[in-house]
């Protein structure tokens, strides 16, 4: 569906208070032209206003602070319930709410996914970090109703060089994907960059779970896949905001969900999996990373 135009002298739909003709009119025309040429275009709802972006950035600051604190503290012998407690305490001390807590029944403040756990791992006193483990800590914050979402990997003690490489290459996948994020490009430019770098290193990318729009809600459209091709998928427009969070497996891409809790995701073949997640804004000139 095309973006509905409004009178040139009317106040812009974005809420800037400026006249449409000096605000979003040119952008709307460009989006509609792309749509008429066959592109998948975002909805206007996906375009964040400057005011919303400022609010979301406050949320992101908490997310970054929490992950920075975990990065300092995480160590061999620690259990992942301690990480959960740290996330809860720091987030709430800073005036935020951990977004995962009670999200669709998720019972913790953070996801901690170790080794062959792909994502949505439950923090637990029974999961004690051992030398050689790789762990993803996935944090999300609500501040004044605005959402942030990012995750990092940590290598505990003495990690097998092959596993370290998986962690490193997965980070590079995110960086290479990010380089492709610019207005009037395509989400598939990012997706293919991620996919190709994983594949070149002999790894696979999880297909069923991906990134997402974020900001006004925890998970918004679009779904962000890494199995897309350059020049395809959604047109990137200034004001769009989404996560890049590929899950990269050393072995096969297939995963399964733990039937006992319907949350924790593991690789089918038991091979290790890594993930990094950033929250990115499409700007007029390129992109801005809001949290990592
Ligand atoms: N932070 C996860 C993501 O990247 C969200 C997981 S849903 C939760 O999208 F409930 F497990 F937190
Ligand atoms: Co996410």
pLDDT attached to residue 15:
85
Angle (nearest 5°) at CA 197 between 115 and 268: 35
Between the CA of 150 and the centroid of ligand 2 the distance, in Å, is 6
- Nearest CA among 4, 83, 2 for reference residue 35: 2
Between the CA of 213 and the centroid of ligand 1 the distance, in Å, is 12
pLDDT above 90 (res 78): yes
pLDDT above 90 (res 28): yes
Which letter, b or e, does each residue of 109-134 get, where b requires 16 or more Cβ atoms within 10 Å of its Cβ? bbbbbbbbbbbbbbbeeebebeeebb
Taking the C-alpha atoms of residue 38 and residue 246, their distance in angstroms, rounded to an integer, is 27
Between the CA of 193 and the centroid of ligand 2 the distance, in Å, is 19
Cβ neighbors of 5 (< 8 A, separation 6 or more) are 20, 25, 28, 29, 32
Between the CA of 210 and the centroid of ligand 2 the distance, in Å, is 8
CA distances from 136 to 80, 126, 150, 274 (A): 11, 17, 10, 7
* Torsion angles phi and psi, residue 119, rounded to 5: -170, 170
Over residues 123-127, mean pLDDT? 98
Atom of ligand 1 nearest to the CA of 139: 1
- Nearest CA among 49, 33, 31 for reference residue 41: 31
Distance spanning both ends of the chain, measured CA to CA: 33
Q: Name the token pair of 32.
A: 């509609």
- Nearest CA among 153, 156, 55 for reference residue 112: 153
pLDDT attached to residue 59:
98
pLDDT attached to residue 1:
82
pTM of the full predicted structure? 0.97
Q: Name the token pair of 68.
A: 């920075």
Atom of ligand 1 nearest to the CA of 245: 4
Q: Are 143 and 66 in contact (CB under 8 A)?
A: no
pLDDT tens, position by position, 218-242: 999 999 999 999 999 999 999 999 9
Residue 287: how many other CB atoms lie within 10 Å: 23
pLDDT tens, position by position, 243-273: 999 999 999 999 999 999 999 999 999 999 9
- Nearest CA among 48, 70, 12, 90 for reference residue 237: 48
- Nearest CA among 130, 139, 151, 152 for reference residue 75: 130
pLDDT attached to residue 108:
98
Q: Which of 4-13, 100-109, 116-125 has the lowest mean pLDDT?
A: 4-13
> Which ligand ends up closest to the CA of 215?
2
Cβ neighbors of 172 (< 8 A, separation 6 or more) are 197
According to DSSP H, which parts of the chain are helical?
25-36, 50-73, 80-93, 161-179, 187-200
Grouping H, G, I as helix, E, B as strand and the rest as coil, residue 92 is: helix
> Which ligand ends up closest to the CA of 141?
1
- The answer to whether the CB of 120 is under 6 A from ligand 1 is yes
Cis omega before residue 222 (within 30°)? Answer: yes
pLDDT attached to residue 290:
98
Taking the C-alpha atoms of residue 30 and residue 184, their distance in angstroms, rounded to an integer, is 9
**Ligand 1, atom 8, residue with closest C-alpha:** 100
* DSSP per residue, 195-206: HHHHHHTT-EE-
């Amino acid at each position: 569906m095309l973006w509905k135009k409004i009178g040139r002298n009317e106040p812009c739909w974005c809420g800037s208070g400026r006249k449409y003709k000096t605000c979003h009119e040119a952008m709307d025309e460009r989006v509609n032209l792309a749509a008429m040429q066959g592109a998948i275009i975002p909805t206007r709802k996906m375009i964040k206003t400057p005011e919303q972006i400022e609010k979301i950035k406050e949320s992101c600051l908490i997310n970054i602070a929490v992950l920075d604190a975990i990065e300092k503290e995480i160590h061999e012998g620690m259990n992942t319930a301690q990480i959960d407690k740290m996330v809860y305490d720091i987030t709430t001390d800073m005036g935020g709410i951990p977004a995962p807590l009670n999200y669709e029944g998720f019972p913790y403040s953070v996801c901690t996914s170790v080794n062959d756990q792909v994502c949505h791992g439950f923090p637990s006193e029974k999961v004690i970090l051992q030398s050689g483990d790789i762990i993803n800590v996935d944090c999300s914050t609500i501040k004044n109703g605005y959402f942030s979402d990012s995750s990092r990997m940590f290598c505990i003690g003495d990690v097998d060089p092959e596993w370290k490489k998986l962690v490193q290459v997965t980070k590079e996948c995110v960086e290479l994907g990010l380089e492709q994020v610019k207005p009037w490009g395509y989400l598939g430019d990012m997706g293919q960059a991620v996919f190709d770098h994983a594949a070149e290193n002999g790894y696979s990318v999880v297909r069923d779970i991906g990134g997402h729009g974020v900001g006004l809600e925890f998970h918004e459209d679009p779904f962000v896949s890494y199995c897309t091709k350059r020049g395809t998928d959604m047109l990137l427009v200034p004001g769009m905001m989404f996560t890049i969070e590929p899950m990269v497996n050393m072995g096969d891409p297939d995963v399964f969900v733990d039937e006992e809790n319907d949350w924790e995701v593991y690789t089918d073949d038991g091979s290790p999996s890594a993930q990094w997640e950033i929250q990115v804004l499409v700007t007029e000139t390129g992109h801005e990373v809001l949290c990592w």
